[in-house]
Amino acid sequence: MTKDVVVLDYGSGNLRSAVRALERAGAEVTLTADKQRALEADGLLVPGVGAYAACMAGLRAVKGPEIIGRRLAGGRPVLGICVGMQVLFARGVEHGVETEGCDEWPGVVERIQAPVVPHMGWNTVEVPDGSRLFAGAEKDRFYFVHSYGVRDWTLVTNDRTRAPWSPGPSTAATVSSRPSRTVR
C-alpha cells in the first residue's frame, strides 16, 4: 500500500531531495504548506537546513507548529530531519539567540560539546538498554554532520503514556566519542 506523505514547505530545507527520497521509497509525495493537506496525509516530513530561528519563523508563517502539534496529539506520524527535528523541542539557542520551538518535547537545542564542531564523520552510537528506536543497531555506523543537539531530554509522562524511548540515558542514543573509520 502506497503511503501519502506531505513534505511541509515552509521555505527551509532541502525540499527536492526529501521529495525524491520519499518517492524512491514508494510514497506518494506532495510538497505543500497547505494546512488541511498536511493534517490529512498519512505522514508529514518536516525538513530543515539552516538556523533554528529562521526555521521557526518559516514554520510560524505557515502555521507549522499547529499542524505538527495536532498531528502528534492525534498519534499521526511526523518525521523531522536535521533542524526540522530540532524545532520539535522547547527551544533552541544559536550564537546567543534563544528561540522558542514547537515545544512538543522538553529540552534545549544548543551547541554540542565536541573537540571539533561541526562534528562530521562515521560514528557508532551508544544505545541505551531496551531502546526500541535503535534495537539491532548497536554495532552499526552512522554518518553525522551536526553542531547542535539536546543534552538533556527527559519526558515526564506521569505513567499516563510510554515515552518513545526506553528509560536510561536522556537521549535515544549517544554519538560515540571513539574514532571511527569510513565505511565504504
Specify the CATH number for the domain of residue 22. Answer: 3.40.50.880
For 108-146, write each residue's pLDDT tens digit.
999 988 788 887 888 887 777 777 777 788 788 888 777
Higher pLDDT, 174 or 41: 41
Residue 129 sits in the same domain as residue 172:
yes
Residue 98 sits in the same domain as residue 16:
yes
Number of domains making up the chain:
2
State the Cα–Cα distance between residues 131 and 173, nearest whole angstrom. 8
Q: Is the pLDDT of residue 166 over 70?
A: no
Residue 10 sits in the same domain as residue 100:
yes
Domain boundary among 52, 75, 105: 105
Cis peptide before 118 (omega within 30 of 0): yes
Residue 73 sits in the same domain as residue 9:
yes
Residue 36 sits in the same domain as residue 2:
yes
Q: Report helix angle 52-61 to 64-73, nearest 10.
A: 80
Give the model's confidence band at 173: pLDDT under 50 very low, under 70 low, under 90 confident, else very high. very low
Residue 16 sits in the same domain as residue 93:
yes
State the Cα–Cα distance between residues 101 and 103, nearest whole angstrom. 5
Residue 32 sits in the same domain as residue 118:
no
Q: What are the grid coordinates assigned to 39, written together?
A: 493534517
Domain boundary among 105, 124, 140: 105
What is the model's pLDDT at position 141?
85
Q: Is the pLDDT of residue 161 over 70?
A: no
pLDDT above 90 as % of the chain = 53
| E strands, the chain, in order | 4-8, 28-32, 43-46, 78-80, 89-94, 97-100, 105-111, 119-123, 125-126, 142-146, 148-150, 174-175
- Domain carrying residue 41: 1-105
